[in-house]
A and B are shown apart, each in its own frame.
Chain A
């Protein structure tokens, strides 16, 4: 669950990234966040991951109050969120299996849990024949599926996808959003940030439009 109450973020260079934003995303929702460059989409993601802090207002994510949270608690928050980036951010020196298992190793999971969960997500995202490949041996779509598997393996309550289709062709973009919807169907909240309006129109659902740091549209299309 995400809840923003009167949140404003102002950077040290004077830029008002978010202005008095109120937002509520309940568990199990699929939400598109759209907006032009500089609208505040990246700041919203950084805010939810506690990379930046709100100057005003209150931010609640998966039961954590980010406004009052100590730095030491950030890893616990991030373990409840799976993040998918536009540039995939896979570790080039690790193969597909290890890139996915990396998340669990980072979170001190037992070898048994790793052996159970990694093959499961590899199966879900149909990466079985690529487990020994390194990122540079994969196509853009395959790399994004690995990134998605990595986001899922920790069984997060919330998936934040930051322009996940930005670096792949339209056919694969469609496939990635479909995968995200399938994940959402199993109860995981998905917040997908995109600037591809065609994709939003194609899939529909709750859409939030940001402009100059404010929400100018929040409805189902």
Chain B
């Protein structure tokens, strides 16, 4: 193809957007809304996962040991725990340390602590291990394995809360996939139909092109350029709207921090830097691809003349 022809087709792509501005605007709006829906859904899912992650981080299992366990046995138990699959962190919490922490945690009880200290030389509490699990879903299996060890007095774990959290995480993962797929399918169907309506509007032009001997590629290029330009434009606007909308929304939600402190969350995922650039690139690239493919696919049936 000649450069002059390509230049002509490029110009036609731009011209078509303006000539068919109503249809172009409709396609642009559909693309924009689809991108915003998908973008905000992804940010919502990412934040939910971050919340769950921070709650998970707080989940600690405490293994209380019998009072008469020797230092050698404690070392042995420490090694066993470290070697277990699902345990990410093991720390020994001595009864002396626990007693000191307790004194620090309860103010205005100095007299009581002095009285207890006067009764005996040793801490009245017992030694313990504090462990953290890697995969919350395997918590039950890990606890069963720990229970097999001797010299354990008691195990304190988040129990039901872990199960709820684990279930919630799985449920969110499934819902996220379903919602995203549904949004993607709905977007593609709407975009296809909108662009088809736009192309249908110009079937006469395509028909004439076919009769005068234009190749299918020649006919498709302006539509391809048109769809791609609209997609890029929609992607750019979607980035701007997501950035502004997300910033305002998170600021609004963080005005009252009480509820978020429950989840150990001090802020939402910030939409800036690399994440913002990645989102912009995804928006623009997907907009260009969907716009171009949707438009070109819609021309198909008119090319069979």
Residues of A within 8 A of B (CB): 49, 51, 74-79, 83, 89, 91, 93, 102-103, 105-108, 110-111, 150, 154
Task: Provide the bound-state CA to CA distance between A111 and B19, in Å.
Answer: 24
Q: Judging by beta carbons under 8 Å apart, are B213 and A106 in contact?
A: yes
Q: Judging by beta carbons under 8 Å apart, are A79 and B305 in contact?
A: no
Task: Provide the bound-state CA to CA distance between A74 and B2, in Å.
Answer: 20
With a cutoff of 8 Å between Cβ atoms, the chain A residues found around residue B214 in the complex are 75, 106-107
Contacts A51-B305, A91-B204, A91-B205 given: A103-B212 contact, CB under 8 Å? yes
Contacts A51-B305, A110-B2 given: A91-B208 contact, CB under 8 Å? yes
With a cutoff of 8 Å between Cβ atoms, the chain A residues found around residue B213 in the complex are 74-79, 103, 106-107, 154
Q: Judging by beta carbons under 8 Å apart, are B209 and A111 in contact?
A: no
Closest to B218 in A: A106
With a cutoff of 8 Å between Cβ atoms, the chain B residues found around residue A79 in the complex are 212-213
Task: Provide the bound-state CA to CA distance between A83 and B208, in Å.
Answer: 10
Majority SS at the chain B contact face: helix
Task: Provide the bound-state CA to CA distance between A206 and B207, in Å.
Answer: 31
Residues of B within 8 A of A (CB): 1-2, 4-5, 8, 19, 204-205, 207-215, 218, 305
Closest to A90 in B: B208
With a cutoff of 8 Å between Cβ atoms, the chain B residues found around residue A77 in the complex are 213
Task: Provide the bound-state CA to CA distance between A102 and B214, in Å.
Answer: 10
Q: Judging by beta carbons under 8 Å apart, are B5 and A105 in contact?
A: yes
Closest CB-CB distance, A193 to chain B, in whole Å?
15
8 contacts between A and B (CB under 8 A): A78-B212, A89-B207, A89-B208, A103-B212, A106-B214, A107-B212, A107-B214, A110-B4
Closest CB-CB distance, B243 to chain A, in whole Å?
37
Q: Judging by beta carbons under 8 Å apart, are A93 and B19 in contact?
A: yes
With a cutoff of 8 Å between Cβ atoms, the chain A residues found around residue B204 in the complex are 89, 91
Partner of B212, one of A51, A110, A111, A154: A154
With a cutoff of 8 Å between Cβ atoms, the chain B residues found around residue A75 in the complex are 213-215
Partner of B4, one of A49, A76, A78, A111: A111
For the complex of A and B, the 10 pairs showing the least CB-CB separation, nearest first, are A106-B214, A78-B213, A79-B213, A75-B213, A103-B212, A75-B215, A108-B5, A111-B4, A106-B212, A93-B19
Closest to B1 in A: A108
Q: Judging by beta carbons under 8 Å apart, are A105 and B8 in contact?
A: yes
Task: Provide the bound-state CA to CA distance between A54 and B19, in Å.
Answer: 39
Known: A83-B211, A103-B213. 4 other contacts (CB 8 A): A106-B214, A108-B1, A108-B5, A150-B212
With a cutoff of 8 Å between Cβ atoms, the chain B residues found around residue A108 in the complex are 1-2, 5, 218
Task: Provide the bound-state CA to CA distance between A170 and B84, in Å.
Answer: 99
Task: Provide the bound-state CA to CA distance between A160 and B208, in Å.
Answer: 14
Task: Provide the bound-state CA to CA distance between A89 and B212, in Å.
Answer: 11
Closest CB-CB distance, B6 to chain A, in whole Å?
10
